[in-house]
Amino acid sequence: MRVEGLALALRPRSPSEACDLGAALVRAHAASIWRCYAPLLVAVTVLALCTIETYGWLPALIIFWLKPWLDRSLLFVLSRAVFGEATHWRDLWQARRLVLGGQWLRTLLWRRFSPWRAFTQPVEQLEAQRGSARRKRVRLLMNDHRGAAAGLQTAFTHAEAAITYGLVALVWWFAPEGQRSSVWDWFFHPSAHATGELGMNLAMTAAYTAVVLFLEPFYVAAGFAMYLNRRVALEAWDIEQEFRGAFA
């Protein structure tokens, strides 16, 4: 990365402060993030819904499994945002081979359940590290930060589940008072109702997609900010930035 071009004020931060920085980055560049991420997620959701009549739980599973691949587009946008650059869909499309292509097996198999994937993803995507060089780089970055990175993953996993079930529960909360028992039965015995299991599966998939659309950018940004914070500690980026500003 070009330290002199960063639009962020760098300084050593705690992991929680770094996550706050990631959230601020999302808020500042919300337009770039969602105009690139939303079309991609919608396309994946539409394709996933083609399987809903075969197995009702499969669309949500497909979206869940492909999140690390979708996250690559978010990291691309965020890596430009730290330099103050806006990103449009055409920018993502022009870089699609670099951003969305390659590393499929590693991304979707043994690294899918990595407890710190948001923290280590920039090593492969932005630094282009491979093999033993990547392993050494990850070990260096993860030193004394495994707990914080795993805690980030755990926090967002629980938030994702809570918000998803909260959205589905809104159907019960907003139902007319006399109809709440039937809504409750629909949750647990969907085949006995007119909408059937298909309606329940569509509701669950729609709720989960909405949560991923909203929450995933914050998760990726928090991990990316923790990565940047670690680079600051290892490579004294904050000092370099101060010197460059002083002698510009």
DSSP state of 13: -
pLDDT tens digits for range 45-70: 999 999 988 888 899 999 999 999 99
Cβ partners under 8 Å of residue 56, min gap 6: 197, 198, 200, 201
pLDDT tens digits for range 205-237: 999 999 999 999 999 999 999 999 888 887 765
Provide the mean pLDDT of the chain. Answer: 84
Predicted model pTM: 0.88
The C-alpha atoms of residue 19 and residue 165 are separated, in whole angstroms, by: 25
Higher pLDDT: 36 or 174? It is: 36
The residue assigned the tokens 């197995």 is 55
pLDDT exceeds 50 at position 180:
yes
Tokens linked to 82: 């730290």
Range in 74-83, 121-130, 160-169 with the lowest mean pLDDT: 121-130
